[in-house]
Amino acid sequence: MMGQKLLGAIFALALLFFNVSTARAQDAVSWLPLPEAVEALESNYKVTVKTVIVPEWPEGSNFYYAFEPNRRQRKTGFIFYPGALVDPRSYAPTAQAIAAQGYLTVIVKMVGDLAILSPDRASVVISDYPYIETWVIGGHSLGGTIACSYAKKFPDKVQGVVLWAAYPSAVFSIRDTSLKVTSIFGTNDGLATPEEIEESRADLPPDTQFVPIDGGNHTQFGWYDVYPNPVQPDDNSPDITRQQQQCQIIYHTVKSLEHVNRKQCAATFLLGKQDQRLGALRQFRDTVLVKSAIGKNLIEMYYINSQRMIALFEQRPAIRMSAKKMLELLVPALQFLSCF
């Protein structure tokens, strides 16, 4: 037990200094937002921007920024944890663009601008928006790491994770979860290097989507001022502009949210989101069915017709009960087949 606690403490200390240079950590001054980021805090006809005060949080960090779509708002929300020592306003342009696609987007202010000091703040955001049915949490650099810690601690509250130049430690591994995860990274990143992103596969679900941004670096995941340097310490120069990198970040983040926003499949409807037997069904899908053309066709047909089956189950309770009993009987057999 003592060994586990010591290991946890070591990882916590390592995370504290992830993406924070020695010089920056000594004075603990956060990078301020660029003018474009400050401008993105203004509401427009597509998005309303609010600064939401949370009285129970310590003064100076007792708020978050909410970017609320003005039309066609979806039932999926995105909670974002900023990178270490980065002013949260620095991600406003990206949040604006994501919210404009219909997804409530929230940037959380952290104590000392270090997500590791405020790891569970997403819970307050979730409670503030009861009409949101599905939540995705994400973050940049250390913020992404701590987002994974939250997802691991509260698997019932979030359904997906989007990582920007980030990865979980072994302590915060989310590999054995049903979370839908997307890892977006720059090929020129000097802090969360492509090699480190590749190694992170061990701590992420097998079906995690890895999205490389060719020529992208660490600094351009946000809109923060690193003057007089062109990039933050230890990062590499990009081969693309900030606008080009941001376009790809926005596109793939929205795509991830769309994926999570899809309605549940028939098996989840019958058994319930938290039923552990869903893991056995997914394992059979991912280890047996995907290996053959017939299996892949069955998977495609299943997802195409899932909503029709759910509609039938809702209209005919007797059929729903029969289908559930059949599925419950089928699970042990599929678990057996998955072993071969």
Minimal CA–CA distance to 234: which of 165, 280, 330? 165
Minimal CA–CA distance to 138: which of 105, 171, 174, 163? 163
Which CATH homologous superfamily contains domain 2-261? Alpha/Beta hydrolase fold, catalytic domain (3.40.50.1820)
The alpha carbon torsion through 98, 99, 101, 102 (nearest 10 deg) reads 140
Please calculate the CA angle 187-32-85 and round it to the nearest 5 degrees.
Answer: 65
Structure letter (DSSP) for residue 237: P
What pLDDT score does 263 carry?
58
What pLDDT score does 264 carry?
64
Please provide the DSSP assignment of 82-131 as one string.
PPTTB-GGGGHHHHHHHHTTT-EEEEEP-GGG-GGGSTTTHHHHHHH-TT
Q: Which residues make beta-bridge pairs with 138?
A: 80, 162
Please calculate the CA angle 174-180-183 and round it to the nearest 5 degrees.
Answer: 75
Tally Cβ neighbours within 10 Å of residue 45. Answer: 8
Q: Which residues make beta-bridge pairs with 26?
A: none
What pLDDT score does 9 carry?
41
pLDDT in tens, 124-151: 999 999 999 899 999 999 999 999 999 9
What ranges do the domains of the chain cover? Answer: 2-261, 266-338
Q: What is the pTM of this model?
A: 0.74
What pLDDT score does 286 carry?
85
Q: Residue 289 corresponds to which tokens in the numbers above?
A: 């069915």
How many helices (H) and strands (E) would you count in the chain? 12, 8
Where the chain has pLDDT below 70, the residues are 1-28, 262-264, 307, 314, 340
What pLDDT score does 28 carry?
63
What pLDDT score does 339 carry?
77
Q: Hey, is 153 helix, strand or coil?
A: helix
What pLDDT score does 12 carry?
43
The alpha carbon torsion through 162, 116, 120, 136 (nearest 10 deg) reads 0
Q: Say if residue 249 is exposed, middle or buried (CB neighbours under 10 Å; 0-12, 13-18, 19+).
A: buried
